[in-house]
Structure 1
């Protein structure tokens, strides 16, 4: 399971592996007090894309498309996240105020789709009795 959570929210026992997925360290958080297992700057949107989006809701659709393109071009950045999600709960941490229109949500969606794509196919449906 993959979930997203603001870095300013209290950690929970159900968070599983906690990974910060922002390029910049969140304001007001000390590295000593923020409970996380990893900080993956490289999986965050490029600095150029982040500046272009600037958390403007009207630009989110374009941001989402461009960020997904960046992710598709660099599987080495997110492969480990897939492994973590396959083993248990993965919590993607972000600092943005906007809870839904942010890079962590796009990344979570991307990873969920990738997990579905890689899942073992189910058995074929048998239509023998219909002919």
Structure 2
């Protein structure tokens, strides 16, 4: 299986395969049709507390990454997500934040592949 990561605001393309939104909140200003999401795995996203600590309270990236990896390790929703994506050749994890290099979808991809 090929596991890709893409910003949800980018247009959907046929080569995205099965599209999975991995944000806890629905992307602002985006319709369900335009998002073209096959599965919304909000329980695989960082906890509300962790998301707020990173985006609003100044938690740095390294601390966020460590905390999210710990959440993923103990989160039963990750096993559910693994099972859901297992039958697909190409899966694209969709996220909403602006930074393509520092986002939880990259960390989740790492966990799903590892």
Could you state the TM-score of these two structures normalised by the residue count of structure 1?
0.77
- For 1:44 and 1:69, locate their aligned partners in 2 and report how far apart those are by CA, in whole Å: 12
Pair 14,2 (structure 1): closer, same or farther in 2 beyond 3 Å: same
5+ long unaligned stretches in structure 2:
none
Pair 80,89 (structure 1): closer, same or farther in 2 beyond 3 Å: farther
Higher relative contact order (CA 8 A, sep 6+): 2
Q: Does 1:34 align with 2:35?
A: yes
**After the TM superposition, which segments of 4 or more aligned residues of structure 1 sit over 3 Å from their partners?**
55-58
Pair 39,77 (structure 1): closer, same or farther in 2 beyond 3 Å: same
Query: What is the root-mean-square deviation of aligned Cα atoms in Å?
Result: 2.0
- For 2:99 and 2:69, locate their aligned partners in 1 and report how far apart those are by CA, in whole Å: 19
Could you state the TM-score of these two structures normalised by the residue count of structure 2?
0.88
Pair 68,86 (structure 1): closer, same or farther in 2 beyond 3 Å: farther
| Rg larger in structure | 1
Deviation at 1:87, TM superposition (A): 3.6
For the 8 Å contact 2:44–2:78, the answer to whether it is kept is yes
5+ long unaligned stretches in structure 1:
114-131
